[in-house]
Amino acid sequence: MPITAFLERNARAYGDEICLTEINPDLVDRDDLSWKEYSLVETAHVHGYRKTVTWRTFDERANRTAGLLLKEGLQKGDKVALLLMNCIEWLPLYFGILKAGATVIPLNYRYTADEIKYCLELADASFLVFGPEFIDRIDAVKDCLFGIREFFFIGENRPPYARDYEAEIAACSCEAPGVPLFDEEDAAIYYSSGTTGFPKAILHTHASLVSACVTEQAHHGQGRDDIFLCIPPLYHTGAKMHWFGSLISGGRAVLLRGTRPKWILDVVSKERVSIVWLLAPWAQDILDAVENGDVELAGYDLGRWRMMHIGAQPVPPALIRRWKRFFPSHDYDTNYGLSESAGPGPVHLGIENIHKVGAIGKAGHGWRTRIADETGADVARGEIGELAVSGPGVMKCYYKDPEATDAVLKDGWLYTGDMAMEDEDGFIFLVDRKKDVIITGGENIYPVQIENFLRNFEKIKDVAVIGLPDRRLGEIAAAIIELKPGMSASQDEIMRFAADLPRYKRPRVIVFDEVPRNPTGKIEKPALREKYAGGSVVAQETEAPVKIARARSLENH
């Protein structure tokens, strides 16, 4: 069964019910309206600030999109790329492309012009749909995109070479196109996050997308009455595959275009949200805002909010302990996955296992896990190895890259590149990315372990640990530390706090700087290594935004 069948079922059964709501707080700000005065009625017509769509309209727009593409000569298996910010048009476009029998290619909205060109060419895209935020980038490469037959544009200030998507679909039929779709046919190409190099094209079938729906609902029990708040970018598997739980249950979702704590809490309150998926930095921002008095929880109606879950990165246990102090009634879950596994699902903690916070959990619904050494043999419990997963959402391949595919797909197992260990109860703990392991003086150091430890220091907002070259030891650990707003700290304070770590795990260099994260919440460690690994390290204590201090303990190695 193709994933489009769920949409068609919902259109028949719940056609007049709202399924998607888009909230764009920036439009309120631009119109000099008070965000606190926002209500479902008063701002429904404020320049598109709040948009809604029903299941029937969703399905009809998808059908019109499919009809437009087919009219323009699209053949089954052709590739259609989406380059849009989160918006209410995004998902109907996605499903329309699938209904036409094409393969959909969601593109990262932070890509540069050259990255867009690279990804379109690698995926053999024939059509591109894009929005006004990307005009300059598409202008820069459009004459080199020889494979693109048509450009479709959504929004204002349409460039002359692009066609008006809204006007074009208005002339197309709202009836289903009738293209037969099958489970093992290609459905989507997602690009890896690029935190370990240039992105790879990850090919998924209809079957793997459907498996994401089933797994998500099995984990979080979405029902018809649940309302899911979706904030992360829809081009990424994490956000969309969590929304798939709403798709399979026929529940409503809210797309929030912004991450400010006040915005999140207001939308949860006024849209009656019950499930929220957050990236760790956003959860931390909410807690900081509450602790600093920037927001007062008593001013919000949060009674329907039943679950908060986090994924896309290791979750510090200290963060969840803080969360439960302010939101003691919330169920909490950690989700682990990757784009190669159709997003979250291979491993999850489970709401009943909050006592194991810090672990990513056990094998998810329909999945198997193992931890292997470099020879492919299973390691003993308590030992560190590479996490491998097997299940219905594993990618078909890296598109046009058999060598990279063979490196990670072995005997039905997807090798994730994440180093992990399993405790005596069978819970899996992430240790670090295989490529991020620091080897110092012959000892392996796993940065995530140091990061989780340092995040317990009350002045630290975020931290990233990377390896810097060292003539004597090969590499040494450097901690890039982002302090909480209004806080100050010295290198000595950090090192005194780190004294409880084993000596070889203590960071040897302290950097006070912002910790860069990509849109899916992952720390951009290649950028940090490029920024610091080639520079000289000077000994100084400072509270300035970007200064480096070599830890004195280095002298005592």
Q: Could you read off the pLDDT of 133-181 as tens digits, one per residue? A: 999 999 999 999 999 999 999 999 999 999 999 999 999 999 999 999 9
Residue 314 confidence (pLDDT): 64
pLDDT exceeds 70 at position 379: yes
Q: Please give the pLDDT value at position 48.
A: 58
Same domain for 506 and 408, yes or no, is no
Q: What's the CATH number where 376 sits?
A: 3.40.50.12780
What does the mean pLDDT of the chain come to? 87
Structural domains of the chain, count: 2
Q: Using an 8 Å Cβ cutoff, are 341 and 358 in contact?
A: no
Residues 404 and 471 in one domain: no
Residue 445 pLDDT grade (very low, low, confident, very high; cuts 50, 70, 90): confident
Both 487 and 366 in one domain: the answer is: no
Provide the residue range defining the domain that includes 485. 437-556
Residue-level pLDDT at 333: 93
Q: What is the pLDDT of residue 194?
A: 52
End-to-end CA distance of the chain: 61
Say yes or no to pLDDT of 312 above 70. no
* 393 lies in some domain: yes
Residue 543 pLDDT > 60, yes or no? Answer: no
d(CA 505, CA 522): 22
Which of these three, 351, 384, 418, is where a domain ends? 418
Question: Could you tell me if 177 and 309 lie in one domain?
Answer: yes
Strands (E), 138-261: 150-153, 163-164, 186-191, 201-205, 227-230, 252-256
pLDDT digits (tens, 9 = 90+) for 115-135: 899 999 999 999 999 999 999
Angle between helix 280-292 and 317-326 (nearest 10):
50
Half-sphere exposure for 289 (CA within 13 Å, toward CB): 17
- Rounded Cα–Cα distance for residues 306 and 292 (Å): 24
432 found inside a domain: no
Selection from 160, 78, 88, 87 nearest residue 120 by Cα? 78
Give me the pLDDT at residue 441, please: 62
With respect to residue 324, please indicate whether it lies within any of the assigned structural domains. Answer: yes
Residue 340 has pLDDT above 80, yes or no: yes
Residues 37-60 as b/e (b if ≥16 CB within 10 A, e otherwise) read ebeeeebeeeeebbeebbbbbbbb
**Would residue 429 count as lying in a domain?**
no
Residue 250: the pLDDT is 97
pLDDT 10s digits, 252-288: 999 999 889 999 999 999 999 999 998 877 898 899 8
For residue 107, what are its two tokens?
A: 């593109």
User: What does the pLDDT read at residue 149?
Assistant: 97
Residue 367 scores a pLDDT above 60: yes
Residue 428 in any domain: the answer is: no
CA distances from 448 to 314, 316, 363, 420, 543 (A): 8, 9, 21, 11, 24
Quote the pLDDT of residue 318: 82
pLDDT band at 316 (very low <50, low <70, confident <90, very high): confident
Q: How many CA atoms lie within 13 A of 380 on its CB side?
A: 1
Q: What is the pLDDT of residue 475?
A: 79
What's the rounded Cα separation, in Å, for the pair 174 and 543? 61
pLDDT of residue 277: 92
Task: Please check whether residue 44 is in contact with residue 75, taking contact to mean a CB–CB distance below 8 angstroms.
Answer: no
Do the domain assignments include residue 423?
no
The confidence score (pLDDT) of residue 193 equals: 64
Residue of higher predicted confidence among 431 and 546: 431
Domain boundary among 418, 446, 467: 418
Give the tokens for residue 111: 């890509």
Give the helix/strand (H/E) hosting 334.
Answer: strand 331-338
How many helices (H) and strands (E) the chain has is answered by: 16, 28
Among 299-313, 487-501, 538-552, the range scoring the smallest mean pLDDT is: 538-552
Q: Average the pLDDT over each of 20-29, 422-431, 495-504 and give the range with the smallest value.
A: 20-29
Of 384, 418, 452, the domain-final residue: 418
Q: Judge if 530 and 501 occupy the same domain.
A: yes
pLDDT exceeds cutoff 80 at 294: yes
Query: Which of 220-229, 385-394, 478-487 is least confident?
Result: 478-487
Task: Check whether residue 476 and residue 359 sit in a common domain.
Answer: no
Residue 6's pLDDT is 97
Helix 90-99 with 237-249: angle, nearest 10 deg: 80
Both 154 and 255 in a single domain? Answer: yes
- pTM score, whole prediction: 0.81
Mean per-residue pLDDT, 102-106: 98
- How far apart (Å, rounded) are the C-alpha atoms in residues 519 and 465? 19
Is pLDDT of 251 > 80? yes
CATH classification at residue 526: 3.30.300.30
Q: Is 383 found in the same domain as 252?
A: yes
What is residue 443's predicted lDDT score, i.e. its pLDDT? 66
- Kindly give the pairing relationship between strand 125-130 and strand 18-23: unpaired
Dihedral of CA 83/85/86/90: which sign? negative
Least confident piece of the model among 203-207, 338-342, 372-376, 540-544? 540-544
Residues 444, 365 share a domain: no
- Is the same domain home to 305 and 187? yes
Domain assignment present for 155:
yes
Q: Is residue 446 part of a domain?
A: yes
- Reported as a single tens digit per residue, the pLDDT across 390-431 is 999 999 999 999 999 999 999 999 999 888 999 999 999 988
Same domain flag for 376 and 476: no
- Say whether both 298 and 342 belong to one domain: yes
Q: What is the model's pLDDT at position 81?
A: 98
Average pLDDT of the segment spanning 182-190: 96
